[in-house]
Structure 1
Amino acid sequence: MALTPEDVLNKTFTQTQFRRGYDEREVDDFLDEVVAEMRRLVKDSDDLRAQVEDGPTSGAASTGSSSAAAATSIPGDEDGDSAATSAERDELSGRVAELEARLQEETTAREEAERRLAEADDAAAGADAERAEGDETARAAEVDADERVAAAQARAEEAERAAQERIEKAAADADQAEADASARGEAAAATSGSDQMTAAASGEGASASSLIALAQRLHDEHVAEGQSQHDKLLAEGQSQHDDLLAQAQTRHDELVGEGTSERDRMIGEAEEQRSRVLEDLNSQKASIEQSIAELNAFEKDYRSRLKEYITGQLSTLESTGVEVGTSQQG
């Protein structure tokens, strides 16, 4: 079936996958069809020229000579047009290859930018994870500090209870000694019936008074010692409690500060990298869109020029056929 200008105008190609453009093999096959049709037209023109040159009558020869002269210029023109078309085709093919190479480079660059964007998102997620880990560490340190403070308070309370028990025991011993001394004094007074016994009772009473004074002194000493020990243990417990609480708060503040600083730094870096990647993507997108527009313009221009060329060849062939027919009729 002969190739017509409408076939060239309405020809479509299969779009390639993963990149913009058309299947190179289909384009080459179609161009081969165009070349074959052009060669057929040139052959028909040569045959008609040969018929004109072999005309039987002198008038036909005369007319044919002029037609042949006109036809003689056609092969040269056709050869020139064929060479120009071949050069133009090579130029256009080279331009297509160049645009496809640029498109491939832009696609590769876009994929690289998308990969870098994914890495930036991963870095941001890692920063969030590290921030959460820092917060968890700070909470654990705070809990540990609270536990240590509670333990110190428990030890202080235990020491206070022990001191109170010692004070109560010393007071009980003093009271018992005082009671024993009073009982012994009363017994001595009841059994005394004479002056000698009275003197003995007086000596015994003095001894009881001394014992009571000793017991009171011991009681006071034990009470004072217990109170001193109580105050000492309470002060030590409070001091240890304050130290532990201050250390825990300091450590908590350090961890929170470090975690916040690291989080802000990593988030800032991730955001900066993400902005750069997005800027690169937008730039590459604009470049790819420009390449696609150039390819579309090239396709449209190529179709138009090819249609004009084939139409011109067909017109030349029809004109040659009309001249040959006129010569034969003459």
Structure 2
Amino acid sequence: MALTPDDVVTKQFQHVRFKEGFDPDEVDDFLDEIVVEWRKTIAENEELKAKLAAYESGATPARAAEPAPAPVIAEAPAPAPAATTGATAPAASAGIIELAQRLHDEHVAEGIAQRDQLIADAKAQAASIVSEAETRGREELSKLERERTSLEGRISELRNFERDYRAQLRSYIEGKLRDLETTATTSGQQPVSAIGL
């Protein structure tokens, strides 16, 4: 695959769930492609340099053997494109590397910014949850305190009612017993307790 600078610029990496950044395998594979293309470019550059050196070393004797200007002119334009291609290849590979480094730095910066944003959001959410829980806890404690006060008042009322009820019941029973004893003594009969019942 021939890798162009546009490929590096337009390359999109998949976001990974539950982790920050991009899929490391996908990024590594893409960088491996860049390395392969870069090595091809370097090999091509070395080959062109070798051809240029061979041409230059072979061109000097050819000029000496042929004094005619026509072959020299015909051969002169050939090294210019080779030199241009040789000079363009390192520039292109350096451009690709620079572009890849810039993209890497941008992705790292974007990842750091996302991480910082996620941390800030999480801290804000945690603070909100803690604040809400504390508020709810205070409200529940206040509610339970009011209920306790109400129940203690109700218990006190029931105890007073029980005490009053017992006192009234005792006085009523004692009154009935006195009535029973006075009724029994006035009629001249023996009290029930004397009969043995």
Query: How far is the alpha carbon of 1:195 from its aligned partner?
Result: 2.8
Distance 1:145 1:188 in 2: 58
**Does structure 1 retain, via aligned residues, the 8 Å contact 2:42–2:89?**
yes
Equivalent residue letter for 1:312:
T
Cα distance in structure 2, aligned partners of 1:213 and 1:255:
62
CA deviations on 1:165-207 (whole Å, 9 max, x unpaired) are 44323222212222333455566678x6x73279899779866
Unmatched segments (≥5 aa) in structure 1:
1-143, 320-330
Q: Which residue of structure 2 lines up, in the alignment, with residue 178 of structure 1?
A: 49
> What is the aligned partner in structure 1 of residue 175 from structure 2?
305
2:192 matched to 1:289?
no
Distance 2:66 2:16 in 1: 74
Specify the alignment match of 2:140 in structure 1: 270
- Alignment partner, residue 255 of structure 1: 125
Change (3 A) 1:201 1:186: farther
Q: Secondary structure at the match of 2:47?
A: helix
Q: Which amino acid aligns with 1:299?
A: L
User: What's the counterpart of residue 39 of structure 2?
Assistant: 168
Q: Classify 1:269/1:276 alpha carbon distance in 2 versus 1 (closer, same or farther; 3 Å).
A: same
Shift of 1:164: 3.6
Cα distance, 1:239–1:159 mapped onto 2, change above 3 Å: farther
Unaligned runs of at least 5 residues, structure 2? 1-14, 190-197
Given candidates 239, 242, 247, the residue that maps to 2:112 is 242
Q: What is the SS of the residue equivalent to 1:149?
A: coil
Aligned mates of 2:16, 2:117 — CA distance in 1 = 8
After TM superposition, the score normalised by the length of structure 2 is 0.68
CA pair 189-182 structure 1, distance change in 2 beyond 3 A: same
> More helix per residue: 1 or 2?
1
SS of residue paired to 1:299: helix
- The structural deviation recorded for 1:148 is 6.0
Over 3 Å counting, the alpha-carbon distance change for 1:172 and 1:201 in structure 2 is farther
Letter in 1 for 2:137: I
Query: One-letter code of the match for 1:151?
Result: F
For residues 125 and 105 of structure 2, the distance between their equivalents in structure 1, rounded to whole angstroms, comes to: 30
**Structure 1 residues 149 and 300: alpha-carbon distance in aligned structure 2, compared to 1, 3 A threshold:** same
Distance (Å, rounded) in 1 between the aligned partners of 2:71 and 2:118: 69
* Corresponding residue pairs, total: 175
Give the letter aligned to residue 251 of structure 1: D
CA distance in 2 between counterparts of 1:200 and 1:183 reads 21
Which residue of 146, 149, 153 corresponds with 1:279? 149
Could you tell me how far apart the structure 2 residues matched to 1:291 and 1:203 are? 130
> 2:4 maps to which residue?
none
* Separation in structure 2 between the aligned mates of residue 282 and residue 145 of structure 1, nearest angstrom: 59
- 1:184-195 to 2 correspondences below 5 Å: 184=55, 195=65
State how far apart, in whole Å, the 2-side matches of 1:280 and 1:218 are: 91
Structure with more relative contact order (C-alpha pairs < 8 Å, separation 6 or more): 1
1:126-163 deviations in Å (ceiling 9; x for gaps): xxxxxxxxxxxxxxxxxx99746331766765664454
The secondary structure found in structure 1 opposite 2:66 is: helix
Task: Check the 8 A contact 2:38/2:93 in 1, yes or no.
Answer: yes
What does residue 7 of structure 2 align with?
none
RMSD of Structure 2 on Structure 1 (CA) = 3.8
TM-score by length of 1: 0.44
Residue 291 of structure 1: how far off its partner (Å): 0.9
